[in-house]
Amino acid sequence: MAILKTAQVSKMDGSMTSIKFMLDKKDGNHVNLSWAINDLNGEATGDDYFDCLLEIRESFEKTNMKILCNGARYDVYPSRMSRQMGKGIKAYVMIKGKQAMEDSLVDIFESADLVKIGTVQQQRDYYNAWLDSLG
């Protein structure tokens, strides 16, 4: 059974538009994330939805478009267990120097403010810095 999620996208000219995501399990180990913006659409297949979202975000970055969802925040990243058990739909808001706690779990497709959105590389860099900060 597919699940529909929606978010906003900030376009290069500063305007906003809606994006629809369709989450679906492809087979026992993979998932499929389809997206649609007006008459544009695409999809990504991966081990989890976070991986798929990363792939879509990387392609959007080439046209300076940003998806305004928690999964695109520079300070959000899923744990290995969240990725394996929940297919990466939930992720942690990370604060440097502090262990991630259950109350900091967010849905990666819920909306987020533009000021919190980073590139895929900024998100990876923050995650690695967070890991280093834990000692």
How confident is the model at residue 27, as a pLDDT?
76
Q: Binning pLDDT at 50, 70 and 90, where does residue 2 land?
A: confident
How many beta carbons lie within 10 A of that of residue 38, not counting itself?
9
pLDDT at residue 25 is higher than 90: no
Residue 41's domain comprises 3-133
Q: Could you read off the pLDDT of 40-99 as tens digits, one per residue? A: 999 999 999 999 999 999 999 999 999 999 999 999 999 999 999 999 999 999 999 999
DSSP-derived letter for residue 68 is: E
pLDDT at residue 16 is higher than 90: yes
How confident is the model at residue 6, as a pLDDT?
95
Look at the chain and report how many structural domains it folds into: 1
pTM over 0.85: yes
- Tell me phi and psi for residue 129, to 5 degrees: -65, -40
How confident is the model at residue 81, as a pLDDT?
93
Q: Could you read off the pLDDT of 113-127 as tens digits, one per residue? A: 999 999 999 999 999
pLDDT at residue 1 is higher than 80: no
Q: What is the mean pLDDT of residues 97-107?
A: 94
List strand residue ranges (DSSP E) for the chain, in order.
3-10, 16-25, 31-37, 40-46, 66-68, 76-77, 90-93, 105-107
